[in-house]
Structure 1
Amino acid sequence: MRSIKLLTPLVLAALQASQVAAHGGVLSYTINGVTFQGFKSYNTPAGQTSIQREWDTYDPITDPTSASLPCNINGASLGAGQQSATVPAGSSVLAQWNDWPHAIGPVMVYMANCNGACTNADPSSLSWFKIDEAGLLSGNYDSGEWAQGKLIDDGSTWTTTIPASLAPGEYMLRHELLAIHTSNQPQFYPECAQLIVTGSGTAQPSGSFLVKFPGAYKASDPGVTIDIYAHPDATNYTIPGPSVWRG
Structure 2
Amino acid sequence: MRYLTTFTAFLTIALRQASLVASHGGVIGYDIASKYYNGFSAYNTPVGQSTIQREWDTFNPITNPTDSFLSCNNNGASLGSGQLSATVDAGSQVVAYWNQWPHTIGPVMVYMASCSGACASAMPSDLSWFKIDEAGLMSGTLTTGQWAMGELVANNNSWTTTIPANLAPGEYMIRHELLAIHTSNQPQFYPECAHLVVTGSGSAQPSGNSLVRFPGAYKVSDPGVTIDIYSHPDVTDYTIPGPAVWRG
For residue 144 of structure 1, what is the aligned residue in structure 2? Answer: 145
Question: For residues 38 and 24 of structure 1, what CA distance do their matches in structure 2 show?
Answer: 12
Q: Runs of 4+ in structure 1 displaced over 6 angstroms?
A: none
SS in 2 for 1:171: strand
Residue 202 of structure 1 and its aligned partner are, at CA, apart by 0.2
Cα deviation code 1:59-84 (max 9, x no counterpart): 00000000010000000000000000
Question: For residues 154 and 123 of structure 2, what CA distance do their matches in structure 1 show?
Answer: 34
For residue 89 of structure 2, what is the aligned residue in structure 1? Answer: 88
For residue 30 of structure 2, what is the aligned residue in structure 1? Answer: 29
Q: Which 5+ residue runs of structure 1 have no aligned equivalent? A: 1-15
Q: After superposition, where does 1:155-174 map in structure 2 within 5 Å?
A: 155-174=156-175
1:189 equivalent to 2:190? Answer: yes
- The structure that has the greater radius of gyration is 2
SS in 2 for 1:150: helix
Residue 18 of structure 1 and its aligned partner are, at CA, apart by 8.6
With normalisation by structure 2, the TM-score equals: 0.92
SS in 1 for 2:62: coil
SS in 1 for 2:20: coil
Question: For residues 42 and 192 of structure 1, what CA distance do their matches in structure 2 show?
Answer: 17
1:128 equivalent to 2:129? Answer: yes
The structure-2 alpha-carbon separation of the partners of 1:138 and 1:18, relative to structure 1 and needing over 3 Å to count, comes to farther
Whose helix proportion is higher, 1 or 2? 2
The code of the aligned residue for 1:204 comes to Q
Cα deviation code 1:2-29 (max 9, x no counterpart): xxxxxxxxxxxxxx99952220000000
SS in 2 for 1:20: helix
SS in 2 for 1:124: helix
For residue 56 of structure 1, what is the aligned residue in structure 2? Answer: 57
The structure-2 alpha-carbon separation of the partners of 1:19 and 1:229, relative to structure 1 and needing over 3 Å to count, comes to farther
Q: After superposition, where does 1:1-247 map in structure 2 within 5 Å?
A: 19-21=19-21, 22-247=23-248
Question: For residues 133 and 17 of structure 1, what CA distance do their matches in structure 2 show?
Answer: 31
Aligned residues, how many? 232
The code of the aligned residue for 2:32 comes to I
Q: Which 5+ residue runs of structure 2 have no aligned equivalent? A: 1-15
The structure-2 alpha-carbon separation of the partners of 1:241 and 1:19, relative to structure 1 and needing over 3 Å to count, comes to farther
Question: For residues 71 and 145 of structure 2, what CA distance do their matches in structure 1 show?
Answer: 30
SS in 2 for 1:182: coil
For residue 9 of structure 1, what is the aligned residue in structure 2? Answer: none
